[in-house]
């Protein structure tokens, strides 16, 4: 048992520490910051709802983290070489991952149907749309080709968002949304905020020049 | 001696591997075949990653579990572990009770064989693509397996790394059967003594590299580029630079049939034999 545990923990030792720090940063710093960007009422509403369901969420995140713990062994490029060894621990982890993937779909459905936190996703989408339009404007300024940039922007908004960002395909691709909910999604939002700041700097610069558009 | 006996794999009605049988002694084998011929599928069946629809893998005439060292086509490493830690992890997974192997020593031996001793304490995330590939070979040779399978070990590597890889393979030669899959005949010619050619799931050739080259004897010609352009329908297989002139290398399926009065027969290389074999199959 001890040996099996060591085999699981071994490739995770540094990742675990790093992930822990990231999660703390995201939850302690980024989320309140994001909430400040919303109106006070919205922030209060989300905070209230989050608090109301926090115990449930915490339990859910704990279960998820336990599963998440096993995932790195399955990084696609490492997986095949490990799998070929036919070691019982590796085989066991494989089976667990398969079970996790199957379990995830109903859990997602339940999560997003029952928890009011889904509203946050709407806010995220609003942020993203806003950022995308601003990013398009930046590109327009940089490359001076309105048609091309508008086409790229439209293609992205019309195709990528509905297919890649809406909750429906996320339900069909376990691992993505909850991953994001834990950390990556909020990190992405952080990136979007930085992009917005860059845009605003650009906008100011252009506005002074008075030949934007 | 490892024996593959009538390995067959079907996906629905598509036959991916059709009765592949061969015997592997302690030589280095090149497994050649075009993309989609079934090379990786064969490796996956031998390593028991996927099941076959028929056939067996035997060791010295007995059906037993083989210790296989396998380098998959796409090999990645745990980015946060050092090269040595990564190998140590694989060693732990390969370790068996009372196997009598000093695994610490074995890891160091694999690092030395693959010229990675200097990089042993470097994190895998910081290693170049070629080094990761060599690390993949190192994990495959750990514990002296009964059979080593290397799936496209040279893919995506620069010339320097390919030479290094060839040196590594040279050191491993003669200890156990090694099968190297590739669709680049040049790599196989430089490293292997024997060749297996798979096309559309069938084993169409098994023999020494010289035998495969020999198949194209009196079928390969060189001729001036201008003459080549005047004769459409010839099967061009490359160019040759000679005294500043550019000559075209052509393959004729019919033996001793000179494509042009100025054409000169060439001593065939492995690549020519391979192309000739595939062309002959196609015709």
10-residue mean pLDDT profile of chain B (283 residues): values are 92 90 93 90 91 90 86 85 88 82 90 90 89 91 91 83 84 89 86 92 93 87 80 77 80 76 82 88 77
pLDDT digits (tens, 9 = 90+) for A168-187: 334 444 444 443 343 344 44
pTM of the model: 0.68
Say whether the ipTM exceeds 0.85.
no
CB B210 within 8 A of CB B269: no
pLDDT digits (tens, 9 = 90+) for A30-73: 555 555 555 555 555 555 555 554 445 445 544 554 555 445 55
| Kind of pairing between the strands at B68-71 and B147-151 | parallel
Kindly give, in sequence order, each residue whose CB lies less than 8 Å from that of residue B201, ignoring residues fewer than 6 positions away. B9, B15, B16, B17, B18, B20, B37, B38
Say whether residue B126 is in contact with chain A using an 8 A CB cutoff.
no
Predicted local confidence at residue B97, as pLDDT: 75
Q: Provide residues of A within 8 Å CB-CB of chain B.
A: 3, 6-7, 10-11, 13-15, 72, 75-78, 80-87, 89-90
Split at pLDDT 50, 70, 90, the class of A160 is very low
| Fold category of B2-208 in CATH | Rossmann fold (3.40.50)
Locate the chain A residue with the closest alpha carbon to B143: A85
| Kind of pairing between the strands at B245-251 and B235-242 | antiparallel
Chain A partners of B68 at a C-beta cutoff of 8 Å?
84
Judge: A77–B75 Cβ closer than 8 Å, yes or no. Answer: yes
Say whether residue B49 is in contact with chain A using an 8 A CB cutoff.
yes
Predicted local confidence at residue A1, as pLDDT: 61
Spell out the domain ranges in chain B.
2-208, 218-266
Say whether residue B172 is in contact with chain A using an 8 A CB cutoff.
no
Percentage helix, strand, coil, to 5, in chain B? Answer: 35, 30, 35
B5's torsion region: left (phi>0), alpha (psi -120 to 50) or beta? beta
Chain B partners of A16 at a C-beta cutoff of 8 Å?
none
Residue with tokens 């732990």: B92
Among A72-81, A191-200, A203-212, B134-143, whose mean pLDDT is lowest?
Answer: A203-212
Kindly give, in sequence order, each residue whose CB lies less than 8 Å from that of residue B36, ignoring residues fewer than 6 positions away. none
CA distances from B222 to B99, B233, B238, B272 (A): 57, 15, 9, 12
Judge: A84–B94 Cβ closer than 8 Å, yes or no. Answer: no
At B28 the three-state DSSP class reads: strand
pLDDT value at A191 more than 60: no
Predicted local confidence at residue A104, as pLDDT: 53
Report the mean per-residue pLDDT for chain A.
53
pLDDT digits (tens, 9 = 90+) for A109-128: 555 555 444 455 555 555 55
Judge: B93–A89 Cβ closer than 8 Å, yes or no. Answer: yes
Span A61-86, average pLDDT: 64
In angstroms, the separation between the Cα of residue A83 and the nearest Cα of chain B is 7
Of B78, B85, B94, the CB nearest to A78: B78
Judge: A75–B76 Cβ closer than 8 Å, yes or no. Answer: yes
Angle at A88 between CA A86 and CA A89, to 5 degrees: 110
Predicted local confidence at residue B69, as pLDDT: 93
Listing from the earlier edge strand, what are the strands of the sheet with B245-251? Answer: B235-242, B245-251, B220-224, B264-265
Judge: A7–B71 Cβ closer than 8 Å, yes or no. Answer: no
């Amino acid at each position: 048992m001890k040996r099996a545990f060591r085999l699981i923990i071994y490739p995770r030792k540094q990742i675990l520490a790093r992930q822990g720090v990231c999660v703390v940063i995201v939850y302690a710093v980024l989320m309140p910051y994001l909430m400040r960007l919303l109106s006070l009422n919205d922030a209060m509403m989300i905070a209230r709802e989050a608090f109301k369901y926090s115990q449930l969420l915490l339990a859910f995140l704990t279960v998820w983290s336990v599963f998440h713990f096993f995932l790195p062994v399955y990084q696609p490029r490492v997986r095949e070489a490990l799998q070929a060894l036919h070691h019982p621990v590796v085989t066991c982890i494989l089976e667990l991952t398969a079970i996790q993937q199957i379990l995830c779909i109903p859990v997602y459905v339940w999560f997003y149907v029952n928890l009011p936190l889904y509203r946050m996703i709407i806010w995220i989408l609003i942020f993203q749309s806003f950022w995308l339009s601003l990013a398009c404007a930046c590109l327009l300024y940089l490359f001076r080709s309105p048609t091309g940039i508008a086409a790229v922007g439209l293609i992205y908004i019309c195709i990528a968002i509905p297919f890649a960002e809406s909750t429906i395909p996320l339900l069909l691709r376990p691992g993505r949304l909850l991953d994001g909910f834990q950390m990556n999604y909020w990190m992405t939002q952080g990136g979007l905020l930085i992009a917005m700041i860059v845009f605003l700097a650009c906008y100011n610069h252009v506005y002074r020049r008075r030949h934007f558009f | 001696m490892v024996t593959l006996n009538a390995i067959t794999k079907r996906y629905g009605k598509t036959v991916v591997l059709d009765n592949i049988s061969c015997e592997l002694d302690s030589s280095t084998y090149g497994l050649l075949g075009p993309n989609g011929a079934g090379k990786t599928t064969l490796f996956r069946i031998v390593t028991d990653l996927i099941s076959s629809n028929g056939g067996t893998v035997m060791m010295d005439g007995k059906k037993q579990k083989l210790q296989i060292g396998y380098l998959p086509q796409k090999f990645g490493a745990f980015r946060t572990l050092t090269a040595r830690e990564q190998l140590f992890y694989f060693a732990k997974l390969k370790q068996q009770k009372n196997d009598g192997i000093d695994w610490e020593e074995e890891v160091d031996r694999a690092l030395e064989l693959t010229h990675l001793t200097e990089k042993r304490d470097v994190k895998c995330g910081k290693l170049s693509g070629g080094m990761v590939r060599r690390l993949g070979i190192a994990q495959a040779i750990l514990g002296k397996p009964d059979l080593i399978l290397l799936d496209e070990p040279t893919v995506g590597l620069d010339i320097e790394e390919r030479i290094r890889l060839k040196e590594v393979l040279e050191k491993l030669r003669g200890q156990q059967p090694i099968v190297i899959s590739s669709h680049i005949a040049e790599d196989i010619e430089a490293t292997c003594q024997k060749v297996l050619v798979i096309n559309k799931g069938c084993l169409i050739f098994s023999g020494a590299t010289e035998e495969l080259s020999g198949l194209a004897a009196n079928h390969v010609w060189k001729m001036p580029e201008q003459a080549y352009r005047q004769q459409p329908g010839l099967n061009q297989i490359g160019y040759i630079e000679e005294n500043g002139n550019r000559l075209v290398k052509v393959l004729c399926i019919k033996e001793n049939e000179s494509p042009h009065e100025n054409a000169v027969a060439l001593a065939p290389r492995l690549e020519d034999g391979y192309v000739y074999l595939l062309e002959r199959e196609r015709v």
